[in-house]
Amino acid sequence: MKIEADRNDITEHPHDDKPRPSLCTVCDKWYTTKGNLNKHKQIHAGEKLYLCSQCEKRFQTEDALRFHNNVHGSKYKCTECGKCFSRNETLTVHRRVHSGEKPFKCTVCSKRFLQLAHFVTHSRIHSGEKPHKCHECDKAFSRSGDLTNHLRVHTGDKPYKCSLCDKSFSQSSYLQKHKRHVHSNRRPYDCRYCGKRFKSSCELKRHVYTHTGTKPYSCRHCSDCFTFHSQLKAHLLKSHNEGTWFRCHICQKNFSNKCHFKAHLLYHEGVKPHVCIECSKSFFTASNMKYHQLKHSDFKQFCCGSCGEYFRHKQTVVRHFNRCSVKLGYVHIFARQD
């Protein structure tokens, strides 16, 4: 795979009404001037010469920096959750998260999508197309972003570093998720049915299914339907032997979920990668660490439906409700509004 274009390797475009004499030899893209071609080459070289004066984030092109400045200027701001975006097109797509609009529908499985790019990527599941191939191990991917992230497995590169705890990540989305779940209690997404608040739109979407009873994932072998895709995958593996088991080489225990399998291996290895930033206590899983971190905080997110008292932990509010003198027959468990 080429990672750099030769400055002298310029080819004339013979069949074009608009003169485009400069060709990038890496991606075969044409440019009208050598200057535009040289700017484009920075993408392949990985150089980030343009620095944002407000957050010190670097960008490969001047245009990318200009669009990024729109975030600081709040030019494109969501009126629902206050999130800012660099482009109006990105804001338009984001608004669909709040409205629930999904304009792109798969003709094979009827699944709907917020963005055209997600729809195109999904369609490759049915076609089996994987146009992006790793030059190191020949593994193929349906998305170019997946290939970029995969290459970091070979290089060990983790360019996204948390400014609060110095932890590094291979993907920007991992860093944002880490900041949201570990260093912030902000919950901008609220359920219209019960008022419970969530840190991400995905968490809210999964929660709403519990109110609506929606089961969008159906088994193609039987009539069973499931609320989550992970449940469908586990069903296909256990009931129809479709998929791959993850077997522990130490205790021979099988797992249908790869994340659960990796977390299980940590118990054998004695590795506790999740560290509390308050007391440096370590844990096997992120969920155990987040549960522990509530001890360092006054944040109480669970409420008893009988007396209205708030508690830090779900188990505590359930035990309290069983002993509560005024019993209404149910427990409200939702995120505190303040």
Q: For residue 334, what pLDDT band results from cuts at 50, 70 and 90?
A: very low
Output the pLDDT for position 38: 77
Q: What is the DSSP string of 88-147?
A: HHHHHHHHHHHH----EE-TTT--EESSHHHHHHHHHHHH----EE-TTT--EESSHHHH
Domain 249-297 has CATH 3.30.160.60: yes
Taking the C-alpha atoms of residue 212 and residue 207, their distance in angstroms, rounded to an integer, is 9
Phi, psi (5° rounding) for residue 173?
Answer: -65, -35
Q: Is 107 exposed, middle or buried (0-12, 13-18, 19+ CB in 10 A)?
A: exposed
* 201-223: b (≥16 Cβ within 10 Å) or e: eebbeebbeeeeeeeebeeeeee
pLDDT per position as a tens digit, 49-104: 778 888 878 777 778 888 888 888 888 888 888 888 888 888 888 888 888 888 88
- Whether 35 shows a pLDDT value over 70: the answer reads yes
Output the pLDDT for position 80: 84
SS3 category, 71: helix
Output the pLDDT for position 20: 53
Question: What are the angstrom distances between the C-alpha of 332 and each of 244, 304, 309?
Answer: 39, 6, 10
This prediction's pTM = 0.39
Residue 123 corresponds to which amino acid?
Answer: S
Q: For residue 26, what pLDDT band results from cuts at 50, 70 and 90?
A: low
Question: What are the angstrom distances between the C-alpha of 325 and each of 301, 306, 312, 329?
Answer: 21, 8, 20, 12
What residue spans in the chain does CATH classification 3.30.160.60 cover?
A: 249-297
- Whether 128 shows a pLDDT value over 60: the answer reads yes
